[in-house]
Amino acid sequence: MDRKDVINFAPSGIKKRRSVPRYVGVIIALCLAVFCISVFVILARNDFDIGKALGAREPETTRTSEMTTEAEGSTEDVTEADSALFLVMCSDKNELTFCQIIKAEPSARKITVKPVDPELSIEFSSEKMSVAEAFRTMSYAAVAEGFSSIGMEIDRYVHITEDNFKRLMSKLGPVPVEVEGNYEINIDAVRYTFSPGIQNMTSDILLKYMKLAEKGDAAMRLQGRAAASVFRQHFTEENYLKGEDFFSALINLVDTDITVFDYGKADAVLSSMLSGEVTVSAVG
């Protein structure tokens, strides 16, 4: 007789977010851990200097971006010149597992994770299609460009497979995630249960939780909150001090238009943003 193995992730008590004397965990993914390193590289590649990041002078120009979802019909305007948007995509083969927009605001020391509905319609030339369909048929760069049709100018993209997502998170270690409901996932005669509270999730469990615990809008909300947890946990002074070797190990696990050369230009922005506490939140 087959016996089901039961893995119970019971909450071990609420944990306070640790405080680091001069530096606090900052950016993301994307998508999710590589998100963390990638955001700063994006900022550096777009010529964001320390003066601007610290608010020492008024920006000469402004760029307006919108974080919009068609289903909600809501728009968030971004008018800071020293802000950047990047697209984080995770997939299993040719199907999206999750898709998120990460907004970084250096001067405000703020990171926002916005889940993207795979059925959101974006436009390419005269053709409209869903984000999921575009991902199946077009390049990552083209998908990122398509968001401009809804007023979202993506600065850089990051794509990671499910397998590499697990490898990446294994390198970084468990993530404390706040579970808001009771969930049960059954896979190959193994039952995974999640109860309300703070639970430390390994890479494999985190992916299962993000992918299978909820469906539809509820799934996007859960994924956004989990991604924000990754940011808070893993962008730390310790990881920052590992420098280029650490970045190289991460960047080799993803498909992105960010290069190792760009990382060398990011030190000023990293130092600026890590000089105070960074607010990481999920919206939508």
Domain residue ranges of the chain, discontinuous segments joined by +: 5-282
Q: Is 275 helix (H, G, I), strand (E, B) or coil?
A: coil
How confident is residue 57, by pLDDT bands cut at 50, 70 and 90?
Answer: very low
Determine which of 130-134, 187-191, 195-199, 239-243 has the lowest per-residue pLDDT on average. 239-243
Alpha carbon distances (Å) from 56 to 44, 51, 59, 132:
17, 5, 9, 41
pLDDT band at 244 (very low <50, low <70, confident <90, very high): low
CATH code that applies to domain 5-282: 3.40.630.190
CB 162 within 8 A of CB 207: yes
User: What is the signed CA dihedral for 93, 94, 98, 103, rounded to 10 degrees?
Assistant: 110
With 0-12 / 13-18 / 19 or more C-beta atoms within 10 angstroms meaning exposed / middle / buried, residue 197 is middle
Per-residue confidence (pLDDT) for residue 267, from 0 to 100? 66
Question: Which whole-number Å values give the CA distances from 133 to 25, 68, 90, 139, 206, in the listed order?
Answer: 34, 19, 14, 11, 25
Query: What band does 225 get if pLDDT is binned at 50, 70 and 90?
Result: very high
DSSP secondary structure letter of residue 60: S
User: Residue 124 pairs with which residues in a beta bridge?
Assistant: 127
pLDDT by residue (tens digit) across 147-199?
999 999 998 899 999 999 999 888 888 999 999 999 999 998 899 999 999 99
What crossing angle do the helices spanning 216-234 and 162-172 adopt, rounded to 10°?
30
Backbone phi and psi for residue 120, each to the nearest 5 degrees, phi listed first: -60, 130
Amino acid 220: pLDDT: 94
Specify the pTM.
0.70
CB-count exposure of residue 153 (10 Å: 0-12, 13-18, 19+): middle
Average pLDDT, rounded, for the chain:
74
Instruction: Answer with the residue of higher pLDDT: 272 or 56.
Output: 272
Residue 1, pLDDT > 70, answer no
Task: Give the separation between CA 239 and CA 66, rounded to whole angstroms.
Answer: 31
pLDDT of residue 271: 66
